[in-house]
Amino acid sequence: MEAESHGPADGVDLEPSGRFAGEPSGAFQRLWTPHRIAYIERGGGSGEVECVFCDAPTRSDEDALIVHRGELAYALLNLFPYNAGHLLVAPYRHIPLYDEATPDEVAEIGAITQEAMRVIRATSGCEGFNLGINQGAIAGAGIAAHLHQHVVPRWSSDANFFPIVAETKAIPVLLGDTRRAIADAWPA
């Protein structure tokens, strides 16, 4: 198979994707995720960082993708978003389950979630939200040891929730740009 030219003016020859290592599987071809290197280098899954939700507040807002810090809880962007603007709201305290949160933590998680919805709607024009807390690994919690709530903005033009989880989703906005827009719009 001949190398394909990207374009007549650019002079760049690209290797056809059919020659890449490995076998394509169904709907998945190649998904380049260079943003994941930050998670990998910080010990994601290796035990180097014990809990990403306990570690995040010790770092700068930009580095940890934090958009708001409250007294008992905070909001940060999901490093692996379902949609652009996908936030997580977590208590600072390391607890796994919602029923272990104090009434004050529950109230602040709720208040931050409400404000997150207002800010995301204002900055992105989304038309709806999926809110959810997965309790325990068996229920789909990727990080079951630390309570966190998902705030996922939705638009009529995006796919429904299940294909997003089951297939590949393209997120057209950089996480740093999204964090800055949401953090800048958050009321002081």
Is 35 an annotated catalytic residue? no
CA distances (Å), 52 to each of 77, 83, 106, 145, 184, in order?
A: 12, 20, 20, 10, 23
* Number of Cβ atoms within 10 Å of the Cβ of 16: 10
Mean pLDDT value across the chain: 79
Q: What is the pLDDT of residue 14?
A: 52
Paired tokens of 103 = 């009434």
Q: What is the pLDDT of residue 169?
A: 60
Q: Report the SS3 class of residue 35.
A: coil
- According to DSSP, the residues that pair with 4 across neighbouring strands are 14
DSSP, res 99: G
Lowest mean pLDDT among 43-52, 54-63, 94-103: 43-52
Name the phi and psi angles at 84, rounded to 5: -60, 135
Q: What is the pLDDT of residue 46?
A: 45
Q: What is the CATH number of domain 31-185?
A: 3.30.428.10
Q: What is the pLDDT of residues 133-172, one digit of tens each?
A: 999 888 888 889 999 999 999 988 776 454 545 555 666 6
Higher pLDDT, 162 or 48: 48
First-last CA distance in the chain: 59
pLDDT beyond 80 at 36: no
Domain boundaries, the chain: 31-185
Average pLDDT (57-71) is: 96
Q: What is the pLDDT of residues 98-119, one digit of tens each?
A: 999 999 999 999 999 999 999 9
C-beta separation of 1 from 16 below 8 A: yes
Residue pointed to by tokens 């890449």? 20
Q: Which of 21-30, 45-54, 131-140 has the highest mean pLDDT?
A: 131-140
Question: Which residue of the set 68, 86, 146, 148 is catalytic?
Answer: 148
177 — pLDDT class (breaks 50, 70, 90)? confident
Q: What is the pLDDT of residue 110?
A: 98
- According to DSSP, the residues that pair with 69 across neighbouring strands are 74
Q: Report the SS3 class of residue 125.
A: coil
Paired tokens of 184 = 């800048």
Q: What is the pLDDT of residue 8?
A: 44
